[in-house]
Amino acid sequence: MRLRNFNIGRHLRDRLHYSWMLLVLAITMIVPVALLSGLIYKSSFLLSEQSFFQILFSNQWKPLSGKFGFYPFIISSLWVSVVSLLIAVPICLLTAIHLTQYAKRWVLNLMHPVIDLLAGIPSVIFGMWGILVIVPVISNYIGPLFGKNISGYSILAGAIVLSIMIIPFILNILIELFRHIPTELKETSLSLGATQWQTVKFVLVKKIFPGIVSAFGLGMSRAFGETIAVLMVVGNVVHVPKGIFQPGYPLPALIANNYGEMLSIPLYDSALMLAALILFVIVLFFNFLSRLIIVKSNIHN
Amino acid sequence: MDLRKIEEIFFRILMFCSTVIIAVSLIIIIFSTFYKGLPHLTWEMISKTPKGGFYFGKEGGILNAIVGSLYLSFGATILAILFGLPLALFLNVHIAHRRKLVNVVRFVMDLLWGVPSIVYGAFGFTIMVFFGIRASLLAGIITVTLFIIPIMVRGIDEVLQSVPRGLHESSLSLGSTRAETAYKVFLKQSVPGVVTAILLSFGRAIGDAASILFTTGYTDHIPTSLSQPTATLPLAIFFQLSSPIPQVRDRAYAAAAVLFIIILIISILSRFFSKRYQKNKINF
Amino acid sequence: MNKPKINIQDLNLYYGKQHILKNINTIIPERQITVIMGPSGCGKTTLMKSLNRLTDLTPDCSVSGKIMIDGQNILNTTEDITKIRKKMGLLAQRPYPLPMSIYNNVAYGLRISGRKKRRFLDKRVEHYLRQVNLWNEVKDRLKEPAGTLSIGQQQRLCLARGLAVDPEIILADEPTSALDPISSQTIEEKFKELKNQFTIVMVTHILRQAKRIADYVIFMYLGEIIEQGPAKDFFENPQEEITKDYLKGLFY
């Protein structure tokens, strides 16, 4: 009798756990749908009055007179993310190759915590570092080098800060990729008389090329969505930037800077939620594409 | 022939330089944070709330932000464990045999993981307005929870995936229920890894600014209930750094030093735990 | 027996603190098939990889002793390591085609050493593919990725690729273990043909395969050489107890 009671208790508990797990699963699967539909709902107010393409390609940003042109912000976002990726790509690739193919044990033991820590630093601290170090360096050294007299708050400052932020993220993916190449492939190339660098260049990089592309795609989506650190150093001037020494005003910064007043101006909140929606869709797109590349290349092999 | 050697040496130098750039960047970040922050990290700074308004008052400290951040991130982490842990176990124990479903869930988690925190912030704000909640600790906790659930699930999931299948089968064949297999076998097997994943999520929760910018508000006081607004360390840095008054900026630097120390502690703790978990796993 | 091509003296090798190869002294005769045998984990693959210094790739590996190839100690040499490695073609347990086309797999070794003329490459590729009896099967699909070939074809491609850099020695690490019986037979027959031109070192734990093709046998156990000698003597008249037990199939 006691045994049976015990069993009933056990199975009841099993059922309870199961129900909770199922509920949790359902809730988490609803989150992306809710995110998307919430943002669409909010931005529909603006979209019912103005056309989407007009908003996207107009550079008139005058919330008080109901003009919401996203063009300057989208271009700024592109500038900052692309430049940061240009900085991060060679550094990540070279470091990943160094750490997986050449480095001595002590370098690995040193760099592992360095990368981990870099990945864990909050974005406000990166932003503060940008204000304290990068902005003055650009204003005092890099700017004058190109004959420019600038404050330092610029696309370049945003891109440098951003590149340091996405480096640990991309680097971890790349290291993982390089580690999973079979040693025999490397041995094969070496035994055919290739130098180590030739092996890297002709065989290893080629072997994981789709993975490398997708790592940078994921890095790009990271860069696109990063808010606070970029906002702190990028200048936040509403215009279409034409070079890396000019200030910019990326999309996430637009949302973050104006939340305070968005309820006091008609359609302003709708415009900002549309900005969030665009951000969400762009980031999803990059994520999706990157993962698709991986899946496709796996099928091929 | 010689050209090959020159090329090899050239690229080895470049590789070495890139590695050094990364290490040096970290050193500069640590150094500049502590150089600015540590001198102001007095007892008064961490034991008092700001006087005369956080943006203009020259007196007082950052206790409101420290306590607020701890409330917020502990709250969010505990909530996220309640959701994330069962979900990760569910994937690896209950529906492990339904590969398609598991892959879909993992894919959604990956996507959510990639969503920028500002989007969570904007979404949280929309919900707040919808339900008529004011900016408060509770709203912040909910937003941050949403933001760290995918981080936690991915972390725990990765650890659980390395539990050998044989263990799963033998546990079931001994007559354990699935819940028992999940919590007593899978979880027990991977405690250090799970703790690491939770610590990392906590680190994300305490460091993120964009998701709480709209949702927690900001105040000089320490909140006494969930419905009050609260200060947090990231926002203490963000807001006070832009102040024209040097004493207020010093508070921002001190807050940055405190936040960095917390992140350092988390990093050391998680290395300690992951070392125990990775005994037979090679780094790099 | 032919004169020695490789002469190994007092070779000791450690991975970290693990002593993998213990006082190895042996010779490998020129233009014959030398088979390294022994149960798994006895160090036979490591011995073979130390011949072209692929053991350098392992971070904690330390080596002492001498490996003399044509009178030159490759462990202590000022000469470019890539030149030494080029002397030796490597055939792994499983075929590892490089991530490129069939044509480029064979041409790879020539290209990286600076031979880039198209006409020259075309000729060499055809020559080596014919040598491993693969030409007729792949001549219409040279541009396709090498991964599309069957495993047996891939292994023959890997052999052609190794031959294309004009080595003097072929190192083969259980080259047939992933192959079907017919592909295995092709490889074995190829080896018997190739030994007129090349010195072949092959690691195997298949006793019958060793009996079929070996000219000289090195038998290893737990990192040491237990017994070595010409194949006939070794199989018909083993001296050591361990060898006798192994040949009887008492352990694997």
Chain C residues with beta carbon closer than 8 angstroms to that of B4: 82
More confident residue, A226 or C113: A226
- Indicate whether A237 pLDDT > 60: yes
Chains that touch C (3 or more CB pairs under 8 A): A, B
Burial bucket for residue C186 (CB in 10 Å: 0-12, 13-18, 19+): buried
Q: CA nearest A99 in B: which residue?
A: B284
Closest to C82 (Cβ–Cβ): which among A188, A194, A202?
Answer: A194
Which residue is it, tokens 């001498």? Answer: C66
**Which residue of B110, B256, B267 is in closest CB contact with A120?**
B267
Domain enclosing residue A19, as ranges? 2-48
Q: What is the pLDDT of residue A10?
A: 81
What is the pLDDT, as a whole number, of residue B281? Answer: 43
Do A252 and A278 form a contact (C-beta atoms < 8 A)? no
For A25, which of B11, B32, B105 is closest by C-beta distance?
B105
Compute the average pLDDT of residues B220-246.
Answer: 91
CA distance C117 to A18: 68
Structural domain boundaries in chain B:
2-40, 43-277
- The token pair that represents C201 in the structure block: 């070192």
Provide the pLDDT confidence category of residue B132 given band limits of 50, 70 and 90.
confident
pLDDT at B46: 87
How far apart are the CA of C73 and the nearest CA of chain B, in angstroms? Answer: 22
ipTM score of the complex?
Answer: 0.92
Interchain CB contact of C71 with B (< 8 Å): no
Q: pLDDT-based confidence at B120, cuts 50/70/90? A: very high
Q: How many folded domains does chain C comprise?
A: 1
Residue C124 scores a pLDDT above 70 = yes
Residue C175: phi and psi, rounded to 5, are -70, -15
- Please check the confidence at residue A4 and state whether its pLDDT lies above 70: no
CA dist., res. C174 & res. B24, Å (int): 47
Residues A24 and A101 in one domain: no
Per-residue burial over B8-29, b if 16 or more Cβ lie within 10 Å, else e, is beebbebbbebbebbbebbebb
Residues near A289 by Cβ (< 8 Å), separated by ≥ 6? Answer: A214, A217
Residues A136 and A266 in one domain: yes
Are both A40 and A167 inside the same structural domain? no
With contacts defined as CB-CB under 8 Å, which chain A residues touch C92?
A: 184, 187-188
CATH label of the domain that carries residue A189: 1.10.3720.10
Asked if residue A269 belongs to a domain, the reply is: yes
Confidence of residue B283 (pLDDT cuts 50, 70, 90): very low
- In degrees rounded to 5, what are phi and psi of residue C69? -115, 120
- Tell me which chain B residues have a C-beta less than 8 angstroms from the C-beta of C80: 1, 5
Task: Label residue A6 by pLDDT band (50, 70, 90).
Answer: low
- Number of residue pairs across A and B with CB atoms under 8 Å? 254
Secondary structure (3-state) at B140 = helix
Report yes or no on A196 lying in a domain: yes
According to CATH, the topology of domain B43-277 is MetI-like fold (1.10.3720)
Does C126 map to a domain?
yes
Average pLDDT value over all residues in chain A: 90
Identity of the residue in B83, B89, B179 whose CB atom sits nearest the CB atom of A14: B179
Give me the percent of chain B exceeding a pLDDT of 70: 97
> What secondary structure letter does DSSP report for C21?
E
Q: d(Cα A93, Cα A82) in Å, to the nearest integer?
A: 16
A contacts of C109 (beta carbons < 8 Å): 192-194
Q: Å from C23 to nearest chain B CA? A: 30
pLDDT at residue B191 above 90? no
Residue B60 pLDDT: 83
Is residue A92 within 8 Å of A174, Cβ to Cβ? yes
The per-residue pLDDT of chain C, averaged, comes to 89
A143: number of Cβ within 10 Å: 18
Length of chain B: 284
Sorting pLDDT into bands at 50, 70 and 90, what band is A1? very low
Dihedral through CA B204, CA B205, CA B209, CA B211, nearest 10?
110
Q: What is the pLDDT of residues A48-68, one digit of tens each?
A: 888 888 888 888 888 888 889
Residue A53, domain member (yes or no): no
Q: Is the CB of B282 inside 8 Å of chain C's CB atoms?
A: no
| Domain total in chain A | 2
Residue C146's domain comprises: 97-166
Instruction: Specify if C145 maps to a domain.
Output: yes
Give the C-alpha separation, A290 to A216, whole Å: 8
* Amino acid, res. A261: E
C180-208 pLDDT, tens digit per residue, is: 888 889 889 999 999 999 999 999 888 88
Q: Tell me if C132 is assigned to some domain.
A: yes
CA-nearest of A115, A120, A127 to A227 is A127
For the stretch A152-185, pLDDT in tens is 999 999 999 999 999 999 999 999 999 999 988 9
Helix (H) or strand (E) holding C19: strand C18-29
Residue B1 contacts C, CB cutoff 8 Å = yes
| Domain annotation covers residue A54 | no
- What is the number of other CB atoms lying within 10 angstroms of the CB of residue C30? 18
pLDDT, tens digit, 9 for 90 and up, residues C36-81: 998 888 889 899 989 988 888 887 888 999 999 888 888 887 778 8
Q: What is the pTM of this model?
A: 0.90
Residues 127-186 of B with CB under 8 A from A: 127, 129, 146, 149, 153, 177-180, 182-183
Tell me: pLDDT of B282 over 50.
no
pLDDT score for B194? 92
Q: In sequence order, what are the beta bridge partners of A45?
A: none
Helices (H) and strands (E) in chain C, counts: 10, 10
* A183 neighbourhood in chain C, CB within 8 Å: 57
Ordered strands of the C216-221 beta sheet: C88-91, C169-173, C199-203, C33-37, C216-221, C224-230
**Is beta strand C72-73 parallel, antiparallel or unpaired with respect to C61-69?**
antiparallel
Instruction: Give every CB contact of residue B146 below 8 A, 6+ residues apart in sequence.
Output: A31, B120, B123, B124
pLDDT of C79 reads 77
Q: How many CA atoms lie within 13 A of C242 on its CB side?
A: 13
Residue B79 or residue A298, greater confidence: B79
Chains in touch with A (≥3 Cβ pairs < 8 A): B, C
Q: What is the pLDDT of residues A177-223, one digit of tens each?
A: 999 999 889 999 999 989 899 999 999 999 999 999 999 999 999 99
Within 8 A by CB and 6+ apart from A292, the residues are: none
Find residues 80-99 of chain C whose CB sits inside 8 Å of chain B: 80, 82
Residues in chain A with CB shorter than 8 Å from the CB of B210 are: 123, 227-228, 252, 256
* A32 and A81 share one domain: no
Cβ–Cβ gap A191/C171 under 8 Å:
yes
Q: Distance (Å, rounded) from C-alpha B111 to C-alpha C197?
A: 58
Residue C41 is which amino acid? G
- Distance, CA of A286 to CA of C95 (rounded, Å): 36
When CB atoms are compared, the residue of A92, A100, A129 closest to B32 is A129
Give mean pLDDT, residues A21-26: 92
Give tens-digit pLDDT for B248-269. 999 999 999 999 999 999 999 9
Query: How far is the alpha carbon of B19 from chain C, nearest alpha carbon, in Å?
Result: 19
| Cα B180 versus chain centre, distance | 29
DSSP state of C146: G
Would C153 be classed as within a structural domain?
yes
In a domain, A56, yes or no: no
Alpha helices in chain C (DSSP H): 44-51, 81-86, 102-112, 118-131, 135-138, 151-163, 181-194, 207-213, 231-236, 241-248
The structure tokens 């500002």 sit at B118
Interface with chain B: mutation pick from C58, C81, C82, highest number of B CBs within 10 Å:
C82
Same domain, A78 and A33: no
Nearest by CB to residue C112, choosing from A187, A188, A198, is: A198
Instruction: Give the C-alpha distances (Å, rounded to integers) separating B37 from A126, B26, B254, B258, C69.
Output: 14, 16, 4, 8, 63
